[in-house]
């Protein structure tokens, strides 16, 4: 057998062993940045960041979601200090919970409501505490729905009860997006959040669709079945009528299926004997 020739030149091997600069070059500035190493070239950028006016920093952070604000705060010392600023978290709290009474009270008021007390510790602490409270209450509703869904479908009475429970929590649109519009949730939990946004918060359909699309659940579908009392015909009661519709969450948000929306809102009442809701199987395709 012929011995394999070494394609690595001997002179280059020696040069590599000696650490010759002809063979090994110092990493460029771009290579240092991509590997995350701090170089002298990063100092000017840090200076630029620290010279940004506060209103510009607030504008940048206000365009981000809370998760992105937390991620930005872990980038460097400047952004960590900026993202921990009390004014940033005050803005995020008021944007998420605009209906809280404490935001409408005069700053000169001497009496504090129970929801105002945590603000003495800072808006960030208030935001975290409030988020945990709401997440815990929503978890109770979702767990109850999951137990009902063990049969594969949901009766309209349980569905409307879940919507009513959300109303007592005074959730905001952001709360629904963060806690109910999740891809890992059952589509019927998504539907409950959609119903709450449309009928209780009065969020425009186009805005709801944007939220559904950003959460990647707009094309998920549900199947609605309902049974109506048979009509009277010359004194005789005809057979009960059975109806079925398959529709996507996006179409419901845009009110393309008005009859389905009316059935979901009214429930089993008057001539409607029963309403059953389930996930579209196979998955809905428009």
SS (H, E, C) the chain: CCCCCCCCCHHHHHHHHHCCCCCCCCCCHHHHHHCCCCCCCHHHHHHHHHCCCHHHHHHHHHCCCHHHHHHHHCCCHHHHHHHCCHHHHHHHHHHHCCCCHHHCCCCCCCCCCCCCHHHHHCHHHHHHHHHHHHHHHHHHHHHHHHHHHHHCEEEHHHHHHHHHHHHHHCCCHHHHHHHCCCCCCCHHHHHHHHHHHHHHHCCCHHHHHHHHHHCCCCCCEEEEEEEECCCEECCEECCCEEEEEEEEHHHHHCCCCHHHHHHHHHCCCCCEEEEEEEECCCCCCC
Single out the residue of 181, 232, 228 nearest to residue 203, CA to CA: 181
Query: In sequence order, what are the residues at sequence separation of 6 or more whose Cβ sits closer than 8 angstroms to the Cβ of residue 215?
Result: 177, 181, 182, 183
Question: What is the average per-residue pLDDT within 9-18?
Answer: 52
Rounded to an integer, what distance in angstroms lies between the CA atom of residue 11 and that of residue 271?
Answer: 93
Task: Please tell me the predicted confidence (pLDDT) of residue 282.
Answer: 58
Query: In sequence order, what are the residues at sequence separation of 6 or more whose Cβ sits closer than 8 angstroms to the Cβ of residue 61?
Result: 69, 72, 82, 83, 88, 91
Q: Identify the weakest region by mean pLDDT among 1-5, 95-99, 187-191.
A: 1-5
Rounded to an integer, what distance in angstroms lies between the CA atom of residue 126 and that of residue 90?
Answer: 9
Residue 80: both structure tokens together: 């960590």
pLDDT band at 105 (very low <50, low <70, confident <90, very high): low
Question: Is-contact 272 259, C-beta < 8 A?
Answer: no
Task: Please tell me the predicted confidence (pLDDT) of residue 71.
Answer: 81
SS3 (DSSP) at 133: helix
Higher pLDDT, 158 or 70: 158
pLDDT band at 162 (very low <50, low <70, confident <90, very high): very high
Question: What is the average per-residue pLDDT within 50-61?
Answer: 73
Task: Please tell me the predicted confidence (pLDDT) of residue 188.
Answer: 96
What whole-number percentage of the chain has pLDDT above 90? 41
Question: What is the average per-residue pLDDT within 15-33?
Answer: 43
Task: Please tell me the predicted confidence (pLDDT) of residue 120.
Answer: 62
Task: Please tell me the predicted confidence (pLDDT) of residue 230.
Answer: 65
Higher pLDDT, 283 or 138: 138
Q: Identify the weakest region by mean pLDDT among 53-67, 113-127, 163-177.
A: 113-127
Question: What is the average per-residue pLDDT within 53-68?
Answer: 78
Task: Please tell me the predicted confidence (pLDDT) of residue 200.
Answer: 92
Q: What is the mean pLDDT of the chain?
A: 77
**8-22, 48-62, 83-97, 171-185, range with greatest mean pLDDT:** 171-185
What whole-number percentage of the chain has pLDDT above 70? 70
Residue 126, pLDDT > 60, answer yes
Task: Please tell me the predicted confidence (pLDDT) of residue 224.
Answer: 94
pLDDT band at 271 (very low <50, low <70, confident <90, very high): confident
Task: Please tell me the predicted confidence (pLDDT) of residue 10.
Answer: 54
Residue 161, pLDDT > 70, answer yes
Question: What is the average per-residue pLDDT within 130-155?
Answer: 93
Cis peptide before 282 (omega within 30 of 0): yes
């Amino acid at each position: 057998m012929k011995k394999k020739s070494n394609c690595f030149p001997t002179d280059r091997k020696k040069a590599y062993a000696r650490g010759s600069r002809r063979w090994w070059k110092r990493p460029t500035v771009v290579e240092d940045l991509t590997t995350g190493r701090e170089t002298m070239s990063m100092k000017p950028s840090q200076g630029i960041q620290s010279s940004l006016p506060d209103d510009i920093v607030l504008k940048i952070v206000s365009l981000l979601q809370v998760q992105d604000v937390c991620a930005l705060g872990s980038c460097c010392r400047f952004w960590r200090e900026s993202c921990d600023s009390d004014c940033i978290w005050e803005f995020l709290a008021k944007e998420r919970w605009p209906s809280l009474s404490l935001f409408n009270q005069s700053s000169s008021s001497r009496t504090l409501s129970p929801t105002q007390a945590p603000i003495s510790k800072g808006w960030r602490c208030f935001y975290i505490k409030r988020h945990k409270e709401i997440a815990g209450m929503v978890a109770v509703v979702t767990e109850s729905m999951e137990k009902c869904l063990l049969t594969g479908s949901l009766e309209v009475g349980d569905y409307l009860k879940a919507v009513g429970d959300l109303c007592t929590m005074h959730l905001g649109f952001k709360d629904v997006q963060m806690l109910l519009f999740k891809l890992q949730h059952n589509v019927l939990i998504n539907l409950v959040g959609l119903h709450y946004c449309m009928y209780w918060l009065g969020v425009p359909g186009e805005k709801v669709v944007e939220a559904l699309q950003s959460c990647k659940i707009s094309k998920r579908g549900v199947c609605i079945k309902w049974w109506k009392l048979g009509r009277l015909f010359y004194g005789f009661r005809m057979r009960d009528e059975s109806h079925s519709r398959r529709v996507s969450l996006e179409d419901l948000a845009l009110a393309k299926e008005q009859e389905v929306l009316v059935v979901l809102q009214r429930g089993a009442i008057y001539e409607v004997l029963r309403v059953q809701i389930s996930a579209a199987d196979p998955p809905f395709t428009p």
